[in-house]
Every structure is written in structure tokens, then in C-alpha cells.
């Protein structure tokens, strides 16, 4: 099977959310952010470097801070990029899936839109067919 996306938003996670919503007859959880990197959760490396998420640890391009002499020095430009990544300011604000993906992974921003749409469609069809088949096999 294809690698559908990042560790944070892989096909299995999307499938499980949709399966739960359909089988439990609950609404899908909607969000305007993709991950906790946008809301202030950080990863600290053994080298005292601070990164916004696991996907970018070790990549200096994404480093948002460093601990030196018991003080944190923030890379304010990089930090702002992560904290202002918002679906209302992106081209995805017109997408019907925007609140399912939250604007996508900022670390893996290469063609995630089409990939996420395919994941959602595949997951919905798979779950629906499974649930629908079970209705008539009882």
C-alpha cells in the first residue's frame, strides 16, 4: 500500500476517525489546525534544539529555538510561521475538507491536499461499504 501521508495524518488515522463517526453515529471531529505544532507543543532534541514537531527534528531549517545558558533563544520568524498557519489564510479555505485536515501538515506541505482528499474518499468508501455490507449480513 502507498504511504498516504505523514505519521500524524496517515490513512489509518483518517480511516479510524471516519469509521468511528459512522458506526457510532457521531459527527466527525472538525479542526481549524492540523496538529499541536501550531498551538504551542514542541519537541526538544538532546542537543537542546527546539522544533515544532517530530517530522522536522534535526532539520535546522525548521528549528524554532535553542536552549543556551539556561535561556531559550527563539527563532521568532520560524515560530510565527508555525503559529500563524491557519486555514482562513490559506488557499484551502475554499476546500470542502478543510476542517477535516486543518490545513495539512506544515512540515510536509508538498501536495498534501490531493493526498488528503484521496485518503478521505477512500476511507469513507471503505467504511461505508463495510457498514453497509454488515447491515445485510445479519
pLDDT digits (tens, 9 = 90+) for 77-86: 999 888 887 7
pLDDT digits (tens, 9 = 90+) for 10-54: 677 778 888 888 888 888 878 777 777 777 789 999 999 999 988
pLDDT digits (tens, 9 = 90+) for 65-118: 999 999 999 999 999 888 887 777 667 778 888 888 777 777 776 556 777 788
What does pTM read for this prediction? Answer: 0.69
Q: Are 106 and 34 within 8 A, CB to CB?
A: yes
Q: Which of 60, 68, 64, 39 is nearest to 51 (CA)?
A: 64
The CA R_g of the chain, rounded to the nearest whole Å, is 18
Residue 74 grid cell: 527563539
Q: Is 18 exposed, middle or buried (0-12, 13-18, 19+ CB in 10 A)?
A: buried
Ordered by start, the domain boundaries in the chain are: 1-34+92-138, 36-84
Q: Are 120 and 97 within 8 A, CB to CB?
A: yes
Amino acid at each position: 500500500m502507498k504511504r498516504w501521508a505523514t505519521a500524524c495524518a496517515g490513512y489509518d488515522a483518517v480511516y479510524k476517525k471516519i469509521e468511528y463517526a459512522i458506526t457510532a453515529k457521531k459527527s466527525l471531529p472538525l479542526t481549524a489546525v492540523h496538529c499541536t505544532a501550531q498551538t504551542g507543543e514542541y519537541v526538544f532534541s538532546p542537543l537542546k534544539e527546539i522544533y515544532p514537531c517530530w517530522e522536522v527534528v534535526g532539520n535546522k531549517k525548521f528549528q524554532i529555538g535553542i536552549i543556551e545558558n539556561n535561556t531559550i533563544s527563539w527563532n521568532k520568524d520560524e515560530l510565527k510561521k508555525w503559529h500563524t498557519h491557519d486555514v482562513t489564510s490559506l488557499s484551502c479555505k475554499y476546500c470542502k475538507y478543510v476542517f477535516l485536515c486543518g490545513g495539512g501538515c506544515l512540515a510536509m506541505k508538498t501536495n498534501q491536499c490531493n493526498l488528503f482528499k484521496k485518503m478521505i474518499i477512500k476511507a469513507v468508501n471503505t467504511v461505508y461499504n463495510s457498514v453497509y455490507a454488515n447491515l445485510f449480513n445479519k
